[in-house]
A and B are shown apart, each in its own frame.
Chain A
Amino acid sequence: MIARTAPLWMLALLAFPGGGHPARLLAAGDAVQVSQPAQASATPSASARDLPAILAEANRRVVKLYGAGIGQRHGYASGVVVSRDGLVVTVLGLFLEATNLRAVTADGHIYRAEPVYRDEYRQLALLKLAGRPDNVDTDASVDEQMARIDLDAFDPAEGAEVRTGDWIFAVGNNFKVAEGEEPVSVLKGIVSGRMKLDALRGVQAFPFRGEVLLLDAITSTPGAPGGALVDLEGRWVGLIGEIATARQTNTYLNYAYPIEELRAFLADARSGAEAATRPASPDAPPGYHGIRLSRIAYRRQLPFVERVAPGSPAAAAGVKPDDLIVSANGTAISRANVFHELCERLHAGEELSLIVKRGEQLIPIRFKLSEPPK
């Protein structure tokens, strides 16, 4: 009857067993006291609509994502719908590597989701939902079943910026408590600050160097990342980041990408995705970057930079020999060939947005391609 299975940790009961000394539990616990700015002394109230209505609307614009998980890394997350035809922003995570990544919309329909753009620097991804739910309502008419995707979506242009101290609500599928059409979870909090993170994701350094919103709501939990952050009026103000820990203190960081960063990501994703899918034009010559990749004959040719032509666009932008190209225009570059094929489709004047690995660091580099030198 119940299709779900429960790992043991889910059964977390809260009484102290007889005989145990509570003070010891407290002292030994991993509780971390995070200092918070002054809390509001009155319950916040929204201006026009009441909070339950605002949060219900936000719920309709968040999807539950299910993909691949390995060991401690969770195979599920949340995503924010940013266009009515099914574009979804989420965090970059292992779950995206599933062969059958699925998105469950607020009405309980299950869609196939396809990553169309990955941003290794920001650690964000853009997904496209397939045009028809997998589990078709057999009572619906054929027209209805074949209907074009039409979802309730946030308009990134209407998103709002928030400041330290503003109330926020985090809307995501924490601990995948919600299933099917069940609404996702909502946590309240305030923006504790805006800052750059010095953090770890797993054992890797967190590459993003831009500002994030630090939150006092507990969002660094499985399932919450990729969820929406809204303000008291229900406006989209941020996206909950992947689980990360502070490098210094090893404590979990609750943070979100601010709306400006999300808009920039979406702009990159649109141009990147468009360029990546455009067929190569035989007439116009390809754009010139000046990068030569290593030609050492490994079984799989890794995209290491061997040489950067002096005075070339890549040299001017700071690409260096021995950089490993991780992604270009949102496409993961696993082999040198993938990079070459991608660049063949680009023309002079167009942008190349690279993420390179230099030592332990991921570095975003972006420049415009030029005409090939004579």
Chain B
Amino acid sequence: MLLATPAVARAEAVSSEALVRVQAAERERIEVMARAARSVVCIFDEHRAGGGSGVIITPDGYGLTNFHVVAGMTGRRKGLGGLSDGRLYPLEVLGIDPTGDLAMFRLSGRETFDYAPLGDSDQVRVGDWVFAMGNPFMLAEDYTPTVTHGLVSGVHRYQFGADTRSLVYTDCIQVDASINPGNSGGPLFNMQGEIIGINGRASFETRGRVNVGAGYAISANQVKRFIPGLRAGLLTEHGSLGATTIDLGYRKVVFERMLEPSVASAAGIEVGDGLVRFGGHEIHSSNQFANYLGTYPAGWPVSVEYQRGSQRFSRVIRLERLPLKLPKPFEVDERINRAEARRVLEAARKRLGDSPIPGTLTWRAVRSMPGKLLPEQVQVRETAAGRGEARVMDATGTVIARYEYNGRTALAGAAEGSLTPASPTESARLNLLMVARQVVHAPLTDERLKRWRHLGGDEYEGRVIDLLECDLDEGPDIRVGIDPATHEVVRVMWRPVDAPSREAPAIEMELDDYRPVHGIQLPHRIRTYGGGAPAGVDIIQGYELEAQP
């Protein structure tokens, strides 16, 4: 049998060494496929009608599919999932992404589920071998998935949607593995058994709805950005710069129109500026820009490099919402959202320490700011819960400014004299840490949990993190970003994150270098950004505890 294969047909004689290699490769492939098959789901509605595919990505039964597979189930959120063990399991629809044609579900009825890991789709190259799994033509009565093997035919493909706002496939992977009706929502695997995409479409023309050698999968890296929101049961939306571009000559992309207000204009972009890079990718055409843009959820921080004359600017811009129209409204289930918020917060509390400090903290920091030659010394003292004061000293130790935070607003002034309202950056800098400390370290009672909402995903140092919002008693609502890998609070944001302007830029802080202080973990480096540009770094020299009187 082996000798008849084309790959070895040319050889005069097949060496036993080569034969052993081929057999080993074959065995490995069979094992990978057998393992992958156990994570694949046949999806039906609660009346066992319809049909599509899905894949489980966590041991507790969370799975991915296409939005168009579960679009008819979003009312009652109920469906059925068949696994390769031949059994049907109850399926609950969680969040949806109608623009990107994604949805998340959760299977129940078993302690643990077999699942498949998500791979890095940016590493996928044309010519890589892949296999798709699913239930094309609903062939599997026992829910054992069909495997089709093929080649990556193209990467970074763009496939139009029903309109610009729904079922758009951006930056997708094109394969020649057969993708047929029923494959929708099923996984595309690399030969290591990692999910590199979610199959959802094919190029069909006049041949009927069967494979014609071009199937498309939503790339795993796009999927990853939407997973936190989908897990939290949200209607996830896609992002926009609020500006459009036009191609002016070879590889020259220029901003053509701009909404006012928009995140692009808030970041200082003007009509006529050239778009150089977006999300780390060099941009050669407007189509390419649209292609990458479509992979980001609303609110996502994306690095944008633009050019005016010979000057280049680099900004991190949080995308605004691309308005979405749905045929029927999707109501967020608070129960699903709160459960996800609790899961993330409890993991963070466990990591950072869940015993509140019986007292107030004082810390000293060295602050470096862009444009200032010498660092300043900062001393911050909590005076009560959520309240504090700070002194800023120059290199000689002379006090040059002082601040007060009363729980709602910050006041600033010179060493002597009266205080006036502080700049947003200063006020945020002063109280962020205090707020974060209280928010995260305070016990998570049901009452407190009601103040929290899971907002979906965010990005920190190239990793996808969870973003939550807390409605505080005092002061404006804050948002915290929690890294699922370390469970540390790595980002704190103030409103107006949603609608920044040049006058009121969004203030964000990144916290890292966590070390134990009095039994809890506290960050020792704080980087501040105003309007997407660096506004200073605080290196914390030490925390001191003042016992409560």
A-B contacts, CB under 8 A, total: 237
The answer to whether the Cβ of B110 comes within 8 Å of any Cβ in the partner chain is no
- In the bound complex, what is the Cα–Cα distance between A10 and B159 (angstroms)? 8
Residue pair B25, A43 in contact (C-beta under 8 Å)? yes
Given contacts A10-B160, A165-B6, A217-B176, contact A178 B154 (CB under 8 A): yes
- In the bound complex, what is the Cα–Cα distance between A232 and B164 (angstroms)? 40
Residue pair A167, B7 in contact (C-beta under 8 Å)? yes
Given contacts A1-B290, A29-B208, A181-B284, contact A41 B201 (CB under 8 A): no
Residue pair A186, B127 in contact (C-beta under 8 Å)? yes
Residues in chain A near residue B101, CB distance under 8 A: 13
Mark contacts of B231-264 with chain A using CB atoms, 8 A cut-off: 1 yes-contact digit, 0 otherwise: 0000000000000110101111000000000000
Residue pair A16, B127 in contact (C-beta under 8 Å)? no
Given contacts A15-B182, A217-B213, A222-B205, contact A40 B5 (CB under 8 A): yes
Given contacts A25-B181, A55-B127, A174-B203, contact A13 B208 (CB under 8 A): no
Within 8 A of B (CB), among A1-49: 1-4, 6, 9-20, 22-23, 25-26, 29-31, 38-45
Among B25, B182, B199, which residue has its beta carbon within 8 angstroms of that of A16? B182
- In the bound complex, what is the Cα–Cα distance between A13 and B201 (angstroms)? 5
Segment with Cβ contacts to B, from A60-68, A129-137, A319-327: A129-137
Given contacts A38-B5, A188-B150, A252-B207, contact A52 B287 (CB under 8 A): no
Among B158, B185, B210, which residue has its beta carbon within 8 angstroms of that of A30? B210
Residue pair A2, B164 in contact (C-beta under 8 Å)? yes
Residue pair A41, B22 in contact (C-beta under 8 Å)? yes
The distance from the CB of B360 to the nearest CB of chain A, in whole angstroms, is: 53
Mark contacts of B209-220 with chain A using CB atoms, 8 A cut-off: 1 yes-contact digit, 0 otherwise: 111111000000
The distance from the CB of A335 to the nearest CB of chain B, in whole angstroms, is: 36
Residues in chain B near residue A139, CB distance under 8 A: 252
In the complex, residue of chain A having the shortest beta-carbon distance to the beta carbon of B134 = A14
The answer to whether the Cβ of A336 comes within 8 Å of any Cβ in the partner chain is no
Residue pair B5, A72 in contact (C-beta under 8 Å)? no
In the complex, residue of chain B having the shortest beta-carbon distance to the beta carbon of A53 = B127
Residue pair A15, B287 in contact (C-beta under 8 Å)? no
In the complex, residue of chain B having the shortest beta-carbon distance to the beta carbon of A16 = B51
Residue pair A183, B213 in contact (C-beta under 8 Å)? no
- In the bound complex, what is the Cα–Cα distance between A12 and B208 (angstroms)? 10
Residues in chain B near residue A52, CB distance under 8 A: 125-128
Residue pair A10, B251 in contact (C-beta under 8 Å)? no
Residue pair A40, B204 in contact (C-beta under 8 Å)? no
Residues in chain A near residue B160, CB distance under 8 A: 2, 4, 6, 10-11
In the complex, residue of chain A having the shortest beta-carbon distance to the beta carbon of B285 = A180
Residue pair B182, A14 in contact (C-beta under 8 Å)? yes
Residue pair A31, B208 in contact (C-beta under 8 Å)? yes
The distance from the CB of A290 to the nearest CB of chain B, in whole angstroms, is: 47
Residues in chain B near residue A45, CB distance under 8 A: 7
In the complex, residue of chain A having the shortest beta-carbon distance to the beta carbon of B10 = A166
Residues in chain B near residue A22, CB distance under 8 A: 51, 137-138, 181-182
Given contacts A12-B202, A13-B68, contact A42 B161 (CB under 8 A): no
The answer to whether the Cβ of B183 comes within 8 Å of any Cβ in the partner chain is yes
The listed residue with most A CB atoms (<10 A of its CB), out of B29, B176, B180, is B176
Residue pair A221, B6 in contact (C-beta under 8 Å)? no
Given contacts A12-B203, A22-B138, contact A177 B49 (CB under 8 A): no
The answer to whether the Cβ of B460 comes within 8 Å of any Cβ in the partner chain is no
- In the bound complex, what is the Cα–Cα distance between A350 and B49 (angstroms)? 72
Residue tally, chain A, CB below 8 Å to B = 76
The answer to whether the Cβ of B72 comes within 8 Å of any Cβ in the partner chain is yes
In the complex, residue of chain A having the shortest beta-carbon distance to the beta carbon of B128 = A52
The listed residue with most B CB atoms (<10 A of its CB), out of A51, A72, A184, is A51
Residue pair B204, A12 in contact (C-beta under 8 Å)? yes
Among A25, A186, A221, which residue has its beta carbon within 8 angstroms of that of B212? A221
Residues in chain A near residue B150, CB distance under 8 A: 188
The answer to whether the Cβ of B151 comes within 8 Å of any Cβ in the partner chain is yes
Residue pair B203, A135 in contact (C-beta under 8 Å)? no
- In the bound complex, what is the Cα–Cα distance between A296 and B35 (angstroms)? 77
Among B151, B162, B199, which residue has its beta carbon within 8 angstroms of that of A11? B162
- In the bound complex, what is the Cα–Cα distance between A39 and B128 (angstroms)? 18
- In the bound complex, what is the Cα–Cα distance between A52 and B155 (angstroms)? 12
Mark contacts of A149-180 with chain B using CB atoms, 8 A cut-off: 1 yes-contact digit, 0 otherwise: 00000000000000101110100001101111
The answer to whether the Cβ of A108 comes within 8 Å of any Cβ in the partner chain is yes
Residue pair A41, B1 in contact (C-beta under 8 Å)? yes
The answer to whether the Cβ of B144 comes within 8 Å of any Cβ in the partner chain is no
- In the bound complex, what is the Cα–Cα distance between A47 and B316 (angstroms)? 45
The answer to whether the Cβ of B129 comes within 8 Å of any Cβ in the partner chain is yes
Residues in chain B near residue A108, CB distance under 8 A: 250-251, 284-285
Residues in chain A near residue B286, CB distance under 8 A: 1-3
The distance from the CB of B88 to the nearest CB of chain A, in whole angstroms, is: 16
Residues in chain A near residue B206, CB distance under 8 A: 9, 72
Residue pair A18, B125 in contact (C-beta under 8 Å)? no
The answer to whether the Cβ of B414 comes within 8 Å of any Cβ in the partner chain is no
Residue pair A14, B202 in contact (C-beta under 8 Å)? yes
Residue pair B50, A43 in contact (C-beta under 8 Å)? no
- In the bound complex, what is the Cα–Cα distance between A163 and B45 (angstroms)? 49
Instruction: List 18 other contacts, CB 8 Å, given A4-B287, A174-B213, A177-B214.
Output: A13-B167, A14-B52, A14-B182, A15-B52, A15-B181, A18-B49, A29-B208, A52-B127, A52-B128, A137-B251, A165-B9, A166-B9, A174-B203, A180-B284, A182-B156, A185-B153, A186-B151, A186-B176
Q: List 25 A-B contacts (CB under 8 A).
A: A1-B245, A4-B287, A10-B159, A14-B199, A15-B185, A18-B45, A22-B138, A29-B209, A30-B210, A42-B26, A52-B126, A59-B126, A137-B249, A138-B249, A138-B252, A169-B151, A174-B153, A174-B203, A177-B154, A179-B285, A182-B156, A217-B213, A221-B213, A221-B214, A232-B7
5 residue pairs, one from A and one from B, having the closest CB atoms: A218-B213, A22-B138, A18-B50, A6-B160, A14-B184
